[in-house]
């Protein structure tokens, strides 16, 4: 792996807990192999494009890395209902790629979330979508395409390395929102990883006080990374 630069952001208003100040440690990397990527996952890093990052907030530790040991994962009653509700969908796994159809669906989803959830409006072009989500994925980058008949209703970006997957991002058509496509996508990936013999699924950051992230605790059992281990330090995860 070659690191081009590393920086810690100036403090800003936190997107998840507005009463807090947030900073990210951002590293721009190239030539990252799957083993190096898994080591970074274990230390709480996430990937978008060729950037890897993790929280570096001075006064807050509420963003906690969460992972599911998928061989022990069990479905709740409500999760089984979500799977039944979406049993007619077709889920296809592909290498990561970008098309105008991806861009249209992504922008439609974010316009909806801007109006109904107050998210900052985020719109992409084919170029910026590729830069932010596809670049840097190499052989690890995968995507799930969810179809209702012939209609693409959802996309889930996923990275796969030896023994682990990382759930990178999911977006879907707002008209299918009542079918809990976000939950369905997570369940689909967890069950796929379990069947494929993986050890862990990394769900990103869990923030107990943020509804947009607190839902992750519903996937059990799960483990939480203790602190922010540095290079050469062992990563400790606890249930």
Strands (DSSP E) found in the chain: 2-8, 12-13, 21-22, 24-30, 46-48, 51-55, 64-69, 90-95, 141-148, 151-161, 164-172, 200-206, 223-225, 237-238
| Residue 214 confidence class, pLDDT cut points 50, 70, 90 | confident
Provide the percentage of residues in the chain whose pLDDT is more than 70. Answer: 100
| Residue 231 confidence class, pLDDT cut points 50, 70, 90 | confident
Secondary structure (3-state) at 5:
strand
| Residue 87 confidence class, pLDDT cut points 50, 70, 90 | very high
Residue 15 has pLDDT above 90, yes or no: no
Q: Which fold has domain 77-193?
A: Aminopeptidase (3.40.630)
| Residue 116 confidence class, pLDDT cut points 50, 70, 90 | confident
Residue 187 has pLDDT above 90, yes or no: yes
Distance, CA of 205 to CA of 216 (rounded, Å): 9
| Residue 120 confidence class, pLDDT cut points 50, 70, 90 | confident
Exposed / middle / buried, residue 37 (Cβ in 10 Å: 0-12, 13-18, 19+): buried
Lowest mean pLDDT among 5-9, 43-47, 208-212: 208-212
pLDDT of residue 206: 94
Instruction: Give residue limits of the domains in the chain.
Output: 2-61, 77-193
Q: What is the mean pLDDT of residues 190-208?
A: 96
Q: What is the mean pLDDT of residues 23-38?
A: 92
Least Cα distance to 201 among 160, 236, 234, 157 occurs for 160
Residue showing tokens 């978008």: 48
Prior bond of 221 cis (ω within 30°)? yes
Residue 1 has pLDDT above 90, yes or no: no
Residue 109 has pLDDT above 90, yes or no: yes
Q: Which residues contact residue 36 at a Cβ distance below 8 angstroms, ignoring those fewer than 6 apart?
A: 1
Q: What is the mean pLDDT of the chain?
A: 94
Distance, CA of 64 to CA of 228 (rounded, Å): 9
pLDDT of residue 117: 80
Which helix (H) or strand (E) segment is 36 a member of? helix 34-42
99-117 residues labelled b (16+ CB within 10 A) or e (exposed) = eeebbebbbbbbebbeeee
pLDDT of residue 213: 87
pLDDT of residue 138: 83
Q: What is the mean pLDDT of residues 176-193?
A: 96
- Cβ distance 16 to 63 under 8 Å? yes
Q: What is the mean pLDDT of residues 103-124?
A: 91
CB atoms within 10 A of CB 4: 9
Global pTM exceeds 0.85:
yes
């Amino acid at each position: 792996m070659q690191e081009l630069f590393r920086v810690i952001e100036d403090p800003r208003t936190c997107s998840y807990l507005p009463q807090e100040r947030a900073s990210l440690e951002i590293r721009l990397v190239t030539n990252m192999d799957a083993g190096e990527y898994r080591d970074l996952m274990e230390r709480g890093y996430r990937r978008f494009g060729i950037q890897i990052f993790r929280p570096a907030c001075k006064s807050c530790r509420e963003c906690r890395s969460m992972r599911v040991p998928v061989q022990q994962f069990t479905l709740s009653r409500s999760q089984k209902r979500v799977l039944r509700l979406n049993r007619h969908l077709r889920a296809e796994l592909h290498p990561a790629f970008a098309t105008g159809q991806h861009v249209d669906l992504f922008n439609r989803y974010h316009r909806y979330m801007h109006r109904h959830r107050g998210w900052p409006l985020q719109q992409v072009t084919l170029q910026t979508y590729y830069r932010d989500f596809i670049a840097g994925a190499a052989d690890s980058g995968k995507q799930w395409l969810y179809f209702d008949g012939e209609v693409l209703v959802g996309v889930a970006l996923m990275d796969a390395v030896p023994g682990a997957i990382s759930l990178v991002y999911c977006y879907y058509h707002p008209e299918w929102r009542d079918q809990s496509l976000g939950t369905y996508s997570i369940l689909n990936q967890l069950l796929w990883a379990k069947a494929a013999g993986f050890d862990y699924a990394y769900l990103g950051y869990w923030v107990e006080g943020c509804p947009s992230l607190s839902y992750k605790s519903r996937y059990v059992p799960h483990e939480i990374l203790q602190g922010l281990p540095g290079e050469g330090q062992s990563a400790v995860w606890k249930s």
